[in-house]
Chains A and B, each alone.
Chain A
Amino acid sequence: MRVPMTLSLSKDTVLVEKEQDVVFLKNRVKEVAVKIKMGLVNQTRLLTAASELVRNMMRYANGGKCHIEVVSSGRVNGVRLTFIDRGPGIPDIAAAMRDGFSTGKSLGLGLPGTKRLVNEFDIKSKVGEGTTVTILKWANG
């Protein structure tokens, strides 16, 4: 009867190494979001967030992998994405999370913007070892 905070219902892993893989990943994420009846606006938020993170992974770490999970809090379902790369890592996460900060040639909206689009956002990084970013979007949140 008792349900833990979030229960993983299904898990799938996609390797991202080439540009075609990015398209494949986005399609997989969309499929899963549609399956749990996520609303259109939330789907767009989730896919945009995924798009930002997968671009970071391609640009800074030459690719990596992504776990796609359907999770449940008992009342509502959601999608959890975990992006894992073996890239150079982020030396200063606090700075990377600030609007307008970028080491590459971008607007620096990727990470802080992504955080605003999802319900839960977690980033772990070790210089020289890689970065793991986890995001969660509830179907109705």
Chain B
Amino acid sequence: MDKIPILRMGSYLLVTIQVDLYDRLALNLEADLVQMVQKTSAKGVLIDISAVSIVDSFMGRIIGNIAGMCKILDSETVVVGMQPAVAITLIELGLPLKGVHTALDVEKGMALLKSMIDETNYDDDDDYEGADDLILE
């Protein structure tokens, strides 16, 4: 299997990575996802990595790339469900994933995406509920 399925939900794209990424799979995902964002003019991309047990510098870079590329295509990216061990390892590796939004789980990630998109569209965040807008600095 060399592809990770990308699901479309309204104006959002949903990617759940269920296997440990190897290099080619990650590169394919990057290409496919950017294609999809352009084709569907998605407003937000949600990547669930809760099943991923290892993220090394290469895969960390792919995640950063995806966020950067989507941003240029006017779409926000949120990475959700990172395992504690993965987070610790990434920090020690020296890869804090600057500029990538994160959330604890899919639900909180969706709320964060909605709030970000609402803000940019109407400058009105009245129905913003509980999601913490975190931008990694």
Whether chain B is bound by chain A comes out as: yes
Contact of B53 among A44, A106, A109, A113 (CB under 8 A): A44
Chain B residue nearest to A39 (CB atoms) is: B85
Tell me the bound Cα distance from A117 to B95 in angstroms.
Answer: 12
- Digitize B20-32: 1 where CB-to-A-CB distance is under 8 Å, 0 elsewhere: 1011100000000
With a CB–CB cut-off of 8 A, which chain A residues contact B53?
Answer: 44, 47
With a CB–CB cut-off of 8 A, which chain B residues contact A44?
Answer: 53-54, 83, 85-86, 88-89
Contact of A99 among B56, B61, B94 (CB under 8 A): B94
A134 CB–B CB distance under 8 Å? no
Chain A residue nearest to B57 (CB atoms) is: A109
Question: In chain B between 70 and 106, which residues have their CB closer than 8 angstroms to a CB of chain A?
Answer: 83-86, 88-89, 92-95
A40 CB–B CB distance under 8 Å? yes
State the Cβ distance, B128 to closest chain A Cβ, in Å: 34
Contact of A41 among B23, B56, B57, B85 (CB under 8 A): B85
Tell me the bound Cα distance from A117 to B88 in angstroms.
Answer: 10
Contact of A106 among B22, B57, B89, B93 (CB under 8 A): B57
| Chain B residues within 8 Å of chain A by Cβ, number | 22
| Chain A residues within 8 Å of chain B by Cβ, number | 24
With a CB–CB cut-off of 8 A, which chain B residues contact A112?
Answer: 94
Chain B residue nearest to A53 (CB atoms) is: B56
Interface of A, secondary structure class, is helix
Central interface residue in A26, A99, A106, A113, by most chain B CB within 10 Å: A113
With A48-B55, A113-B95, A117-B89 as contacts: A107 and B23 at CB distance below 8 Å: no
State the Cβ distance, A28 to closest chain B Cβ, in Å: 14
Say yes or no: B22 contacts A107, CB within 8 Å. Answer: no
Residues of A within 8 A of B (CB): 19, 22-23, 26, 40-41, 43-45, 47-48, 51-52, 55, 99, 106-107, 109-110, 112-114, 116-117
